Structures are given as structure tokens and as C-alpha cells.
Amino acid sequence: MLEILGTIGGNVLGLPGILGLALGMMTRQLWLGALLGGLVGLIAPLLFAGWQFSHVGSVALVIAIVVGVCAGSLGTAIRRKGTTV
């Protein structure tokens, strides 16, 4: 349980969370923000594993993609709400 929580926390505070949020804030279209965040979530674990799928755990990869999609969507929501205030 602690390993999963640590993986989620590491992804939220790492590249998928921060870069996904930043890329999501660059667009107003929700699907594009989620897609960009998901791509960051896919690339980040592979980058640290030397671009080999065999060195990345499937649970860590899924968590990174989900965190990236959520962060990208949140970034888009921040951008849309910020322009209407």
C-alpha cells in the first residue's frame, strides 16, 4: 500500500504532474490538455528507465498516465476558469 501511495505522490510531484499541469494550461480544449498530460505520463517513466519498456512496471506506467491525464485536465480547467473571472 505504501509503495502505491509513494508512486502516486512521486508522479504528482514529478514530471507527469507538474509538466502535465503546465501543458494543460497552454490550451483551452479539455481533450488536448488531457492528451498532452497523458503523453508526458507515458514518456516520463520511459525516460528514467532508459527507453525500455521492460524496466518499467505496469502499475507505475498506468499511474503515471492517469496522473498526467488528470493534471492536464486540471490545467485546462484552470485556464478556462481564469479567463472568465
Helix, strand, coil percent values for the chain (each to nearest 5): 85, 0, 15
Q: Judge whether 1 lies within some domain.
A: no
Q: Judge whether 2 lies within some domain.
A: no
What's the pLDDT at 82?
84
Per residue in 28-42, pLDDT (tens digit) is: 999 999 999 999 999
pLDDT above 90 for 84: no
Rounded CA separation 46/15 (Å): 12
Handedness of CA 77, 78, 79, 83 (dihedral sign): positive
Q: Judge whether 85 lies within some domain.
A: no
What residues make up the domain containing 75? 16-80
> Which residues, other chains included, contact 41 with Cβ-Cβ below 8 Å and sequence gap of 6+?
11, 16, 20, 64, 65, 66, 67, 68, 69
Q: Judge whether 59 lies within some domain.
A: yes
The total number of structural domains in the chain stands at: 1
